[in-house]
């Protein structure tokens, strides 16, 4: 079995600089990588501080990019985005700011309408109770709040989208 070479603190710093230049990383992810690489605690703190000071790592920028990409590309709701950022140990204030900026009310509801409409097209017409529950469950698993889901479901049931 080949034994892996232990990374030095300087090599780890260079690797992380390259990684952070390619993609957004948060403090927690960087710290986890350092832990996996077996870097001592004192060096981990120094490396993370250096990356933050030189703006390779910025949790506010990370939260904003994460929220924007999950909403636009994965079509996640606010709740799921928040949970993802909480798992990355981003502060509540940064999460609130990022989610608010990424999910403006009008586009948020339009995205939910599109998701629910697409899911409803797979169901029998008119939508029966069980199918309505499936559509609601789908939207809520995506992280959308019940208030919005029920509003859009009412619109679907009234036939406001015509071609469903």
pLDDT in tens, 57-110: 999 999 999 999 999 999 999 999 999 999 999 999 999 999 999 999 999 999
| Structure confidence at residue 128 as a pLDDT band (50, 70, 90) | confident
| Structure confidence at residue 146 as a pLDDT band (50, 70, 90) | very high
pLDDT of residue 160: 57
| Structure confidence at residue 7 as a pLDDT band (50, 70, 90) | confident
Helices (H), the chain: 9-22, 27-36, 41-53, 59-72, 78-87, 92-102, 105-121, 129-141, 146-158
| Structure confidence at residue 142 as a pLDDT band (50, 70, 90) | very high
Give the number of other CB atoms < 10 A from CB of residue 5.
7
CA angle 12, 15, 19 (to 5 degrees): 135
DSSP conformational letter for 57: -
Global pTM reads 0.88
Percent of the chain with pLDDT over 70: 94
Helices 129-141 and 105-121 pack at an angle, to 10 degrees, of: 140
């Amino acid at each position: 079995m080949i034994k892996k070479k232990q990374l030095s603190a300087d090599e780890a710093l260079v690797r992380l600089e390259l990684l952070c230049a390619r993609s957004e990383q948060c403090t927690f992810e960087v710290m986890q990588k350092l832990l996996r690489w077996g870097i001592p605690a004192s060096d981990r703190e120094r490396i993370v501080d250096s990356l933050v000071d030189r703006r390779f790592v910025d949790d506010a920028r990370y939260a904003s990019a994460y929220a924007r990409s999950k909403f636009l590309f994965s079509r996640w709701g606010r709740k799921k985005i928040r949970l993802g950022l909480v798992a990355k140990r981003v502060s509540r204030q940064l999460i609130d700011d990022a989610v608010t900026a990424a999910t403006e009310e009008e586009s948020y509801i339009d995205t939910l309408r599109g998701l629910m409409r697409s899911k409803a097209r797979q169901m029998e017409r008119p939508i029966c109770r069980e199918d309505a529950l499936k559509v609601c469950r789908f939207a809520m698993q995506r992280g959308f709040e019940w208030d919005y889901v029920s509003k859009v479901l009412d619109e679907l049931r009234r036939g406001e989208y015509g071609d469903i």
